[in-house]
Structure 1
Amino acid sequence: MRRIGYIAAPDFHFMSLAALSVFEIANRTAPQRTYDVRLLSEAGGLLTSSIGMSIHTHHFDETKFDTLIVGGGLGIVEATPALVAFVQSAQTQTRRMASACSGAFVLAEAGLLDHRRATTHWLHAHELKRRYPKVSVQEDRIFINDGPVWTSGGGSAGVDLALGMVEQDLGDDIALTVAKKLVLYHRRAGGQSQHSTLLDLSPKSDRIQSAIAYARRNLNKPLSIGELAAVANLSPRQFSRAFHAETGQSPAKAIEKMRVEAAKLMLEQGRHPIETIADETGFADRERMRRAFLRTFGQPPQAIRRNARSG
């Protein structure tokens, strides 16, 4: 049995507890119960959230945990001396330490993030970097696993972090089944941006949503307007007009953004040659991909890869 300790701070955000559902569903999915989750706080007892509802918590004690997660709030979590001392003492006897959202400030104050890559909610990333210059803050990441220390962005990113932990513990099949049971539209890898192209598009109609989902699944294909229009059951002219009206951009521009986002993730993971990435993401050749990267990032793909490796 793996004991998960989740530290909640006063005025915690209820969304941060969503990650615990991943461990709950994993217990119901795996052949045997794997996780024992315990809510913790500095004083124990009832703890009130930012919306006014309360939860029961256990106070800090000598209990040993397999994984300890520091939760976040709507603002920066206060790293009290007792909280920092508890995290530091737990480090030597805990397999994994983690933070969700602004809980990263507690890990940083405890010194656990020194000379490690870490992320937090994009609203607080610059402040984390300013306060703790020894931390390699990567603000545009869903979650980061740097050895035994995990950190995630805000909101739903904690769910992605927890799924990553379940994958590490129980395998990809279990993690994928848990994601499906939670009705997640898309299971996000840690390297993805906190600002997704899909979120920016946010179409209103099912027809345009279906066309975008189809495009995302088939980025390695040419994806003509006629093909996407057929998925949406519209004529090419109707589709182009409806797409622009709902997303504020042309289908071609939106598809290029999705391709650039997918290619950037593959580059940062460093597993494939640039020619292969260009082919897999539908750019057809590396020169076309290079021009798209320059338009989007002001840098060629090689520079993106170098920056990822140096980080």
Structure 2
Amino acid sequence: MPSPADVHRVAVVAVPPATAFDLSIPDIVFGSAELDGRPAYRVRICTAEPGPVATTGSLQVVVPHGLDVLAEADTVIVTGSGSRTEADERVLAALRAAAARGSRMASICTGAFVLAQAGLLDGHDATTYWVQAGALEHRFPKVRVRPQALFVDDGPVLTSAGLTAGIDLCLHMVRTDHGAAVANAVARLAAVSAVRDGAQGQVLPTPVAAADGSSLTATRAWALTRLAEPLTLAELAAHAGVSVRTLNRRFQGETGTTPLQWLLTQRIEQARELLESTDLPVDQVATRAGFATPDSLRRHLLQRIGMTPRSYRAHFARPVRAGANFPLHVTG
């Protein structure tokens, strides 16, 4: 059970005019993460001048902390701002100092412009809100901008696109810190999808499901209960009552990825939870998650997160309670 000293400290930097939605994301995601019933993170929101902070909308925001909280932060997150002009030099200096101490640095939406101004994105892959990606690339040529990525994890710095992509980035950090089971528990509390790959495109051709009931949500839910089965495109299409061609088109429109890639992501997530939460042999984990062989699971896990099943279990395994049920991964 973590002691207060073990709690991961997150500092969220508000840069006026701040985006209230972006400010709330780390507080909700990290604030919901628990280890053995105790908070896994402590989140503090800060700014150069504590007190009322101008925002991009009609909400009034009061930020209680100054930049001194960065001195003890394990993770520093700069949130989006309506201004992409030069940030306060006090903010830039505090960010550079935190990075030099080894803090994990991250940004949500146009917060990437602030990290770039501090020189922390030079030589790194990064993303931002797609509308501003061209401006980021033009203004900071040393940054390798990936305009379509939902989020980018490039070692010591992480960046995300706008709005809900910030949720994906924060869930990714929780999963990196504490494993898939903890991150998925947070996602369930927030009623959001637990798994969206960072490379998934920001802009979907059909971002909102059709009003005629043609959404594939029910088919995805059906597939999640059958991950151990060798599901085919034809079976998915039959369940949805559409052709394979229509299935592919609608799936891409609703999720930004193909049905088979989506299935692979869900199977990897199921395997991760089983490795963390059970003592099942790796071959049984592979079978329950829908991989044909343990070697197939090993190959895909290595490609996705750079760890073998055994090394992943060694890093993230939780004690298995006597009589505990094996978990079933469910996500949207």
TM-score, scaled relative to structure 1: 0.70
For 2:45, the equivalent position in structure 1 comes to 39
Quick one: which amino acid aligns to residue 138 of structure 1? Answer: R
Alignment partner for residue 215 of structure 2, among 208, 227, 230?
208
For 2:123, the equivalent position in structure 1 comes to 115
Query: Cα distance, 1:185 vs. partner?
Result: 3.6
* Conserved 8 A contact 1:41-1:58: yes
* Conserved 8 A contact 2:32-2:39: no
Query: Cα distance, 1:31 vs. partner?
Result: 3.7
Quick one: which amino acid aligns to residue 19 of structure 1? Answer: P
Alignment partner for residue 222 of structure 1, among 234, 245, 250?
234
Give the whole-Å Cα distance in 2 for the aligned partners of 1:178 and 1:201: 24
Alignment partner for residue 159 of structure 2, among 109, 133, 151?
151
Is there any run of 5+ residues in structure 1 with no aligned partner, and where?
Answer: 230-238, 241-248, 267-279, 281-311
Query: Cα distance, 1:127 vs. partner?
Result: 0.5
Q: CA 1:210/1:171 → structure 2, altered by over 3 Å: closer, same or farther? A: closer
Residue 96, structure 1, aligned to residue 90, structure 2: no
* Conserved 8 A contact 2:10-2:44: yes
Alignment partner for residue 79 of structure 1, among 74, 84, 87?
87
Give the whole-Å Cα distance in 2 for the aligned partners of 1:19 and 1:206: 33
Identity between Structure 1 and Structure 2 (%): 31
Give the whole-Å Cα distance in 2 for the aligned partners of 1:155 and 1:75: 16
Query: Cα distance, 1:30 vs. partner?
Result: 4.6
Q: Which moved more, 1:111-120 or 1:90-99?
A: 90-99
Quick one: which amino acid aligns to residue 159 of structure 1? Answer: I
* Conserved 8 A contact 1:114-1:134: yes
Quick one: which amino acid aligns to residue 87 of structure 1? Answer: L
For 2:279, the equivalent position in structure 1 comes to none
Query: Cα distance, 1:133 vs. partner?
Result: 0.6
Query: Cα distance, 1:139 vs. partner?
Result: 0.8
Q: Show the 5 A alignment for 1:152-167.
A: 152-167=160-175
Q: CA 1:8/1:261 → structure 2, altered by over 3 Å: closer, same or farther? A: farther
Alignment partner for residue 172 of structure 1, among 177, 180, 200?
180
For 1:262, the equivalent position in structure 2 comes to 261
Give the whole-Å Cα distance in 2 for the aligned partners of 1:212 and 1:32: 36
Summarize deviations over 1:198-230 as a string: whole Å, max 9, x none.
x5362224453445636986874324765422x
Alignment partner for residue 132 of structure 1, among 124, 137, 140?
140
* Conserved 8 A contact 1:65-1:93: no
Residue 61, structure 1, aligned to residue 68, structure 2: yes
Give the whole-Å Cα distance in 2 for the aligned partners of 1:189 and 1:30: 27
Summarize deviations over 1:124-145 as a string: whole Å, max 9, x none.
1001000111111001111111
SS across alignment from 1:208? coil
Q: CA 1:93/1:214 → structure 2, altered by over 3 Å: closer, same or farther? A: same
Q: CA 1:207/1:127 → structure 2, altered by over 3 Å: closer, same or farther? A: closer
For 1:3, the equivalent position in structure 2 comes to 9
Query: Cα distance, 1:196 vs. partner?
Result: 3.3
Give the whole-Å Cα distance in 2 for the aligned partners of 1:35 and 1:43: 24
Query: Cα distance, 1:74 vs. partner?
Result: 4.0
Q: CA 1:75/1:192 → structure 2, altered by over 3 Å: closer, same or farther? A: farther
Query: Cα distance, 1:33 vs. partner?
Result: 2.0
Give the whole-Å Cα distance in 1 for the aligned partners of 2:19 and 2:223: 32
Query: Cα distance, 1:38 vs. partner?
Result: 0.8
Give the whole-Å Cα distance in 2 for the aligned partners of 1:202 and 1:181: 23
Q: CA 1:207/1:133 → structure 2, altered by over 3 Å: closer, same or farther? A: closer
* Conserved 8 A contact 1:67-1:94: no
Query: Cα distance, 1:49 vs. partner?
Result: 2.1
* Conserved 8 A contact 2:233-2:260: no
Alignment partner for residue 26 of structure 1, among 3, 20, 33?
33
Give the whole-Å Cα distance in 2 for the aligned partners of 1:106 and 1:261: 37
Give the whole-Å Cα distance in 2 for the aligned partners of 1:255 and 1:93: 44
